[in-house]
Amino acid sequence: MNAAFDRLTLTDVSRNFGRRRALSRVSFSCASGDIFGLLGHNGAGKSTLLAILATLLRPSSGQVRYGAHSATRGGAAVRASLGLLGHELQLYPELTAAENLRFFARLYGLSDVQARVRDALAAAALADRADDVVSGFSRGMRQRLALERTLLHDPRLLLLDEPFTGLDQASAAALIRRLRGLAAAGRIVIVATHDLDLAEGLLTRSVILREGRVAALHEDGLAVRARYEAALRPQRAAS
Amino acid sequence: MGEFIRVAWLVMQKDLTVEIRSREIVSTTVFFAISCVLVFAFALVKDGRTVVDAAAGILWIAIAFSGTLALGRTFERERYTDTLRALMLAPADRPAIYVGKLLAIVAMILVTEALLVPLVALMFQAALFDAPLLLGAILLTGTLGFAAVGTLFAAMLVRARSRDVLLPVLLYPITIPVIIGGVRGTAALLGTPTDVAMAQFWIGLLSFFDVVFIVLSLWTFEPLMTE
Amino acid sequence: MRKSFVVWVGVAAAMFVIAPFLVVRAPYESTMGLVQKIFYYHAPLGMLMFLSAFVSGIAAGLFIFNGRASADRISLAAAEITVLFGSLVLITGPMWARKAWGVWWQWDARLTSSLLLWMIFVAYLLVRRYGGPGSDKLSAAVSLFGMANVPFVYISVNVWRTLHPKTSVVPTLQPGMREVFWFCVAAFAVLYGVLLALRVHLGAQQAEVERLYLELDDRSELS
């Protein structure tokens, strides 16, 4: 039972930890086909926002709607429709590539596990390394495997946290191609990243966060670096 | 219900596969348990010789200490690879994940006990094998109770600071009835004559403890693991 | 705080002024003499300690399932008082034991159970203090599990103790003693209520300060 949706809407989402505000009244929405960028300095709230979108964290106030569903009511159905590729790749190093995929496929209750695992390995270009333990893989290989793991259950919303970290040029280009393909196929893709040059060629829309607040919201993917620097220029001291 | 069992079994299988491949937790736990037994054997000395009546107590102390290490390590592993978050992200029933991890931990501790009990029997000339079924029942119910509470606490401490020291701080006071039951039950079996009625009483109490605390853990696992 | 609170503080103070006089005038217990009079403080403290543990545990359960911060404040306040009253029980108990039976501690069932409960709630406070963010839920679990543990602790310690029989602690109450005992129970109960209300109120004020900080943060951004 997947929740079917093609729009993600945030309304005044805030999150605080004690007296520290991590996010303050963040609002935006994205739709199928978007490759939406979350940009900002370290500590701006990108990871917190991603955790909220992944339903791992509840907002202190405000609402997140996945189409007509919400995380609180939707629960497992919403989780079945989203995928998160975290900064730590969430793979079991002692298991082989195939075993990792099989485990998650079964955990998600998917049918046709054999076929899906085979296809995922092919998409990750790891078919020949299927029975090798993941601890022996390079970062790029693990990344490809983790991405396929995230896509096994065909999620409608794909969340990526700093996916370009530690990737060489070729791997980064391959990832960009993959993400474009996924968005074109109707997924909503949200990418939190520091890498402004790569973001330039990838994003269709973006939001720039500053200290937990929306500093700027852009409806196209142009001039990412310039806009980023403009939005995050140090503010004059308040009088 | 079938789905619940399926997920629990899957998680347990995965944990045991990971452990069998790395052999890290069982080997370090067993070694630590043996060291524990030795330390207590040397420490509890009367008239220049080890106090043999202390066998039951030493066995359960070793189980408690090494069990705590095993719990800590299992969840530290999940934390390091961030796979605990991946488990929480899945649409699977959260209590089923708890049960899967619980069964895997119990299996690991039982393996440790399988090696520990003969060792203790040997070193303390303790007649631990006179009533093997009853002894097995005490070990099983006691381990299950200890692990039930331990798995919940270790899981929820993954996100906390000072988690290494907090796990024993939280776990030991709450599992004291398990230790009392385990030690007294084992001692009842070691006495001459074997006090079967006493052992059965303790097995009963431990079983009741297991039921209450597993139910409580199943109930609270999801709200405690989500922020 | 409300005016009625001051009245209760006054009542508690008055009762504690009267209590020592009543205790002095109570009849001497036949076997233990003067020393037995610690009982008039020790026993009510013990009863209220257990009550407080249950209050904390139930509030913790409500917090875990409902997420209401007010339940968490009550749980924390009750936990602190459990530790406070527990400490007093563990001080008066050995004092009594030493004078009555010559040893500070002889593992009597009730005192040992009190010690274990005290330790569980000290663990609650340690988690709260050192557990970092999210420790409110963690400590709530400790409180809930601790409360659920009380019957098991009591039974196992009792059965464990029958193997080392020693004199039991609480003698039956003669008529002259009963009134004094219940007066002391009432005095401590009022004190308990006062302390709990005070501590919960403090917690609510702290939460309000946090809320104000956040609001200030919001306002400064808008200007």
> Using CB atoms, which chains have 3+ pairs under 8 A with A?
B, C
* Closest residue to B227, CB basis, from C120, C134, C153: C134
Interface of C with A in 11-50 (CB under 8 A): none
Best to test chain A binding among C205, C218, C219 (most A CBs inside 10 Å):
C218
- Check C132 against B153: CB less than 8 A apart: no
Alpha-helical (H) ranges within B132-174 are 132-157, 163-174
Burial category of B73 from C-beta neighbours within 10 Å (exposed 0-12, middle 13-18, buried 19 and up):
middle
pLDDT at A198: 82
pLDDT at C173: 66
pLDDT at C141: 95
Can the peptide bond before residue B193 be classed as cis, meaning omega within 30 degrees of 0? yes
The CA dihedral of C84, C87, C93, C94, to the nearest 10 degrees, is: -160
- Check A24 against C221: CB less than 8 A apart: yes
Measured in angstroms, the CA of B114 and the nearest CA of chain A are apart by: 25
* Closest residue to B176, CB basis, from C116, C138, C163: C116
Taking the alpha carbons at both ends of chain B, their separation in whole angstroms is 26
- Check B169 against C127: CB less than 8 A apart: yes
| pLDDT tens, N- to C-terminus, chain C (223 residues) | 677 888 888 888 888 888 888 887 777 776 767 777 888 888 899 999 999 999 999 999 999 998 888 999 999 999 999 999 999 999 998 888 888 778 888 787 888 889 999 999 999 999 999 888 778 899 999 999 999 999 998 888 888 776 554 545 555 667 777 888 888 999 999 999 999 999 999 999 999 998 888 888 777 766 5
Interface of C with B in 156-185 (CB under 8 A): 156-157, 159-160, 163
Q: Does A80 touch chain B (CB under 8 A)?
A: yes
Chain B contact set for C119 (CB, 8 A): 173
Give the rounded distance of the alpha carbon of A17 from its chain centre.
23
**Which residue, A94, A90, A79, A109, is CA-closest to A149?**
A90
Chain A contact set for C133 (CB, 8 A): 17-18
Measured in angstroms, the CA of B183 and the nearest CA of chain C are apart by: 10
| The one-letter amino acid at C193 | G
Measured in angstroms, the CA of A92 and the nearest CA of chain B are apart by: 7
Q: Which DSSP string do the residues of B181-209 spell out, in sequence order? A: HHHHHHHHHHSSS--HHHHHHHHHHHHHH
Residue B23 has pLDDT above 90, yes or no: no
Q: Which residue does chain B place closest to C119, by CA atoms?
A: B173
What are the φ and ψ backbone dihedral angles of B67, each rounded to 5 degrees?
-65, -40
Q: Does A77 touch chain B (CB under 8 A)?
A: yes
Residue A222 has pLDDT above 60, yes or no: yes
Interface of C with A in 126-155 (CB under 8 A): 133
Token look-up 């340690």 returns: C126
**Which residue, C24, C19, C29, is CA-closest to C175?**
C29
pLDDT digits 0-9 by tens, C114-171: 999 999 999 999 999 988 877 889 999 999 999 999 999 888 888 877 655 454 555 5
Taking the alpha carbons at both ends of chain C, their separation in whole angstroms is 34
- Residue C29 bridge partners (DSSP): C33
Q: Does A109 touch chain B (CB under 8 A)?
A: yes
Residue A37 has pLDDT above 50, yes or no: yes
Provide CATH code, domain A1-81+156-239. 3.40.50.300
Q: Which of A114-118, A140-144, C22-26, C82-86 has the lowest mean pLDDT?
A: C22-26
Q: Does A88 touch chain C (CB under 8 A)?
A: no
- Check C218 against A16: CB less than 8 A apart: no
Best to test chain B binding among C122, C149, C157 (most B CBs inside 10 Å):
C149
- For chain A, the domains span 1-81+156-239, 88-154
pLDDT at C165: 47
Contact C200, C73 (CB under 8 A): yes
Measured in angstroms, the CA of B81 and the nearest CA of chain A are apart by: 5
Measured in angstroms, the CA of A18 and the nearest CA of chain C are apart by: 7
pLDDT at A161: 92
| B123, containing H or E segment | helix B94-123
Chain A contact set for B159 (CB, 8 A): none
Q: Which DSSP string do the residues of A158-193 spell out, in sequence order? A: EEEESTTTT--HHHHHHHHHHHHHHHHTT-EEEEE-
Interface of B with C in 139-198 (CB under 8 A): 149, 152-153, 156-157, 159-162, 166, 169-170, 173-174, 176-177, 180-181, 184
Average pLDDT, chain B: 90
Q: Which of B53-57, B150-154, B184-188 has the lowest mean pLDDT?
A: B53-57
